[in-house]
Structure 1
């Protein structure tokens, strides 16, 4: 990789944990001047094509006091990760061909939100503290809220019940986490859905400087399945063996064609891990040696930790170790990458 660039004067690491408006026009003018000053070429001229895949670097996960802030074991995990991530983007501006940010994207009436479920008293489950199993549904502890059918299945409550039970059953059969009732988060149109301001600024700066369109990838809109990984939802087939969702085949194909794919974002134990795991599955079906072109930014991602409740650090580290064993390269954002352009 070419020599790392200096940080541009506008970058303020102290603001990474805050929400603010990016001054686009001002940054665009500065980015064009920066390309001349630092002799940065347009991305179209890259001989080695490098993709930076950023998983869910959104306010909802990355700003303290937002719904699902990923604090990691330090309590400031995502903020520290994003400071390093911004610096990584700026220092490697001349080498990153395209940035692909994923956006967790939700509306109210979804299977993992409190409103979707009720108990015998008509009460909704407590988010983040409730898992729902097939046994819970069979025993009547939780049932699908009949009022939701109007929005999700055109009023067909029986269909909605069958789809929901099938979904919960498939999750337990696949050995993944049971259905978790999450707080309302990453709400489409809301401030939590937006990219972290400092990261958005860095991505915008890159787009202007390299004349490379940022490629936003949405996930999680389907009301009948969770979507931790950007590459596929948790469940693809409904109770009647008909598809309820599909894999992101175009992005999978695109990632496999890059010379290098660098991955960071939140959370290491959930959406990042499962995206990488799905990518590994796809690679192994094509050519297992392709794993050596996947770089994991281990200091730009943190696991889910709720002090005194749950700590996924060990699981996250274990799965990252398995990725390394499969041939992926675990790196730090400060390292000089050995990718030649």
Structure 2
């Protein structure tokens, strides 16, 4: 017989779904006092006393992906995808406050000069690629369409020739791995900027949980290596350079931590990219250890949306295929209103 998360709580009066798509300051002290009072009122115990450990992994719940008008807003099919997802996600956190042991938000973290940003590349006219509309292949580099910007090597304190060799190796590795060519993205999730911050309503819910449950939120930084992309929080896209030396490493500590929980619940943005590839990496690790561990992974399908740019690109089918693969492997596709069952 399985147990379930079923002691669902009311949603605190401070939560306003109409402001989830906006940026505002969380009143920490006020919320801290309210969270401690809420815990007493509803007999919520500290997370250290949980008999079953439940982790909520939130992929990149940041303004850059979740607020309209920011760089890479994930609109999904509805056009308001990330906002609608975050309303449901906040409600899920508040309703299940007493059962969620740990919340781990990941944070896409970038600076200007990274291999997937426009400034990294130049054409023969000295122009940078158009972001979100340019993909770079080995053939593009061979034919001279794109080359590494020499000034970037100075900024990164790297020899230009070696940097160019790495960039070619990197683009070739992406193509050979069969995922996709290198996509040049708009500057986004910029460290120190507003876009990098967690969406205010989600931040508030996570903070409220931390105080009510005496459980420190664990923010996981990813994507700050200038020489590789890091869609998945568990592993960068390319681990080795052209000389076989490591340029990045798997997040082994987080992989081991996640697999130690009784239940892992995953939400966030975007379903077709960072969410899907994080889950895929987790599944790869699970298969190497014990395929049955997939049963502890729950995917909040109504708290994540695919990248959709009307008239340009729609990754909905790709996202759905990925989730079907995860379900076939034993992971559970659930909604934020479902009861979450333990193994």
- Does the TM-score normalized on the shorter chain lie above 0.5? yes
CA distance in 1, matches of 2:158, 2:202: 41
Q: Which residue of 1 is the match for residue 245 of structure 2?
A: 242
Q: Which residue of 1 is the match for residue 263 of structure 2?
A: 260
Q: Which residue of 2 is the match for residue 36 of structure 1?
A: 40
1:49 matched to 2:57? The reply is no
CA distance in 1, matches of 2:93, 2:9: 10
1:76 matched to 2:52? The reply is no
Q: Which residue of 1 is the match for residue 110 of structure 2?
A: 106
Q: Which residue of 2 is the match for residue 63 of structure 1?
A: 67
For each residue in 1:114-142, what CA deviation from the matched residue of structure 2 results, as whole angstroms up to 9, or x when unmatched?
00000001000000000000000010000
Deviation for aligned residue 1:339? 3.4
Deviation for aligned residue 1:151? 1.8
For each residue in 1:246-272, what CA deviation from the matched residue of structure 2 results, as whole angstroms up to 9, or x when unmatched?
000000000010000000000000000
Q: Which residue of 1 is the match for residue 299 of structure 2?
A: 296
For each residue in 1:212-261, what CA deviation from the matched residue of structure 2 results, as whole angstroms up to 9, or x when unmatched?
00000000000010000000000000000000000000000000100000
TM-score, normalising length from structure 2? 0.98
Is the 2:223–2:231 contact (alpha carbons within 8 Å) kept by the matching residues of 1?
yes
Q: Which residue of 2 is the match for residue 21 of structure 1?
A: 25
Is the 1:4–1:336 contact (alpha carbons within 8 Å) kept by the matching residues of 2?
no
Query: Any idea what SS the aligned residue of 2:64 has?
Result: helix
CA distance in 2, matches of 1:336, 1:87: 14
Q: Which residue of 2 is the match for residue 335 of structure 1?
A: 338
Q: Which residue of 2 is the match for residue 197 of structure 1?
A: 200
Is the 1:229–1:271 contact (alpha carbons within 8 Å) kept by the matching residues of 2?
yes
Query: Any idea what SS the aligned residue of 1:175 has?
Result: coil
Unaligned runs of 5+ in 1: none
Deviation for aligned residue 1:3? 1.7
Q: Which residue of 2 is the match for residue 86 of structure 1?
A: 90
Mapping for residues 192-231 of structure 1, pairs under 5 Å: 192-231=195-234
> Which of 168, 171, 178 pairs up with 1:165?
168
For each residue in 1:13-38, what CA deviation from the matched residue of structure 2 results, as whole angstroms up to 9, or x when unmatched?
00000000000000000000000111
CA distance in 2, matches of 1:272, 1:156: 35
Deviation for aligned residue 1:338? 2.3
1:278 matched to 2:281? The reply is yes
For each residue in 1:39-69, what CA deviation from the matched residue of structure 2 results, as whole angstroms up to 9, or x when unmatched?
1000000010000000000000000010000
Deviation for aligned residue 1:155? 4.4
Query: Any idea what SS the aligned residue of 1:334 has?
Result: coil
CA distance in 1, matches of 2:270, 2:227: 22
Query: Any idea what SS the aligned residue of 1:99 has?
Result: strand
Q: Which residue of 2 is the match for residue 188 of structure 1?
A: 191
1:141 matched to 2:145? The reply is yes
1:325 matched to 2:332? The reply is no
For each residue in 1:162-219, what CA deviation from the matched residue of structure 2 results, as whole angstroms up to 9, or x when unmatched?
1100000000000011100000000000000000000000000000000000000000
Q: Which residue of 1 is the match for residue 315 of structure 2?
A: 312
